[in-house]
Structure 1
Amino acid sequence: MGGLYGHGLAMMLVPMYVHPAADPGAWRALAAAADRLYGVVLNVADGPGGSPDPAFASAARDLRAAGVAVLGYADLDYGRRPQREVLDDLDRHRAWYDVDGFLFDQAPDQAAWLRACKRLVKAARARGGRTVVLNPGVHPAPGYASVADLVITFEGDWEAYCRAPAAPAWTSGHPAERFCHLVHGVPPGLCSVAGRTARLRGAAVHCAVTGHGRNPWSVLPPALKEPSP
């Protein structure tokens, strides 16, 4: 990752929320684009699911073999979900898919939840999570940037991204590699613009897709269909 960052190029964190049997080509493309990926989020069923899925296990092995970090998805429900349930998700992700780390979706953003979030991140690392990502989807209270490896400070559609306010001043005290923007519903041909915009707004990690609807993350980022720069 450092080499690409050194040349000012953004890396991609890809939520690939489609079953490998439904779109095997997309998963193969992710492995082939390892040098451009921060990681891939593995989301079987809003988490690891109720039992191991051999197709996801195989896809995760292929990604790891290619050098891609695989992150297991866990929903925090903005701090309302019981910690025991979250920890159970982490344990299943590790046991069934041997993930390298975790993405905490719907993470809280208020300072009052910071201590509880720190405990979860500590528990994730104790379970072998080398990379931990928080996704509040907005700029959280400043302390969150020091808790995890990466904080997703925008998740939404292209129209909302175009109207998004400037990053708060405190973000300038952290490297751009700490922040990520996830943008869906991007008009065809503008995903590269979204990537450049993320970098200009202080986020060195991004994902921009044309997908929309209930699961916009079921499609491959168009940038990964292009040759490496």
Structure 2
Amino acid sequence: MKTLFPSYAHPAPELELDTDTWIVRDRPGDRRTLHQALGLIDLDWGSRSLADVLADVDTWRADGVEGLFLDRAPAGSGGVGPVALTVRLAARRGLHRVVLNPGVPTHPLYRDLGVRICTFDGDWEAYQSWDGDGTRPGDGHLVHGVPTAMLTAARRLMGRRGAGFGLATDVSPFLSAAAASSAGRGAHAAD
């Protein structure tokens, strides 16, 4: 399973460099890792203007990332057109690796875009009771707030549910980056 670190979770310093680890960066600038980087673009559930989204695509292309992480993506049929246009224009700019993160299963039309889709993005409690309806093997699962003692169980559950990429972490996206770094906590990858 590929490991994807969302922008709120950072790999532990001892994590070795490999092509199966993707790091989502929230801002262009100096890289702190040699892992493959995806630039974060917040689609705000489809409410951002296409011009603003494409300006972000160009910023990330100039930064040299390997692809894009389209966060808070729409999941319904009404959002397919703008997302498809964003994916096509990103590919024209050389950004072929795209991860779509609606955090829930999407309308089937999104499957035709040829991108990876993250169909779960939530906390450990919700993941345990999640039925996975509407997902496919290989989809991504991002599970945060996992108690440290349950990280192995979370990774196993992700595997049983067919996750092709993702992360189980004790970190929460609701903690500020400063609080997380001052606590000295690293994320634990789902392998």
| TM-score class, shorter | 0.7 to 0.9
Q: Is the 8 A contact 1:41 1:70 kept in 2?
A: yes
Letter in 2 for 1:140: T
Quote the Cα distance in structure 1 between the aligned partners of 2:150 and 2:112.
32
- Give the deviation of 1:213 after TM superposition: 5.6
**What 5-or-longer segments of structure 2 have no aligned partner?**
none
2:117 aligned partner: 151
Letter in 1 for 2:73: A
Backbone CA RMSD of aligned residues: 2.4
1:14 aligned partner: 5
**Which of residues 72, 84, 87 is equivalent to 2:51?**
84
- Residues 143-186 of structure 1: CA deviation (Å, up to 9, x unaligned): 21231421010001001111112332xx45xxx33x10000000
Identical pairs, percent: 33
Letter in 2 for 1:167: D
TM-score (norm 1): 0.72
- Residues 4-26 of structure 1: CA deviation (Å, up to 9, x unaligned): xxxxxx221111437xxxx8xx4
- Give the deviation of 1:109 after TM superposition: 0.3
1:204 aligned partner: 164
Q: Is the 8 A contact 1:185 1:209 kept in 2?
A: yes
Higher relative contact order (CA 8 A, sep 6+): 2
2:155 aligned partner: 195
Q: Which 10-residue stretch deviates more, 194-203 or 73-82?
A: 194-203
Quote the Cα distance in structure 1 between the aligned partners of 2:20 and 2:152.
13
1:69 aligned partner: 36
- Give the deviation of 1:33 after TM superposition: 4.1
**What 5-or-longer segments of structure 1 have no aligned partner?**
1-9
Q: Is the 8 A contact 2:8 2:173 kept in 1?
A: no
Q: Which 10-residue stretch deviates more, 105-114 or 193-202?
A: 193-202
Quote the Cα distance in structure 1 between the aligned partners of 2:115 and 2:26.
19
**Which of residues 104, 116, 127 is equivalent to 2:70?**
104
1:40 aligned partner: 23
Quote the Cα distance in structure 2 between the aligned partners of 1:211 and 1:27.
12
Q: Is the 8 A contact 2:104 2:121 kept in 1?
A: yes
Whether 2:122 is the aligned partner of 1:139: answer no
Of Structure 1 and Structure 2, which has the larger fraction of its residues in helix?
Answer: 1
Quote the Cα distance in structure 2 between the aligned partners of 1:119 and 1:111.
14
Quote the Cα distance in structure 1 between the aligned partners of 2:152 and 2:114.
27
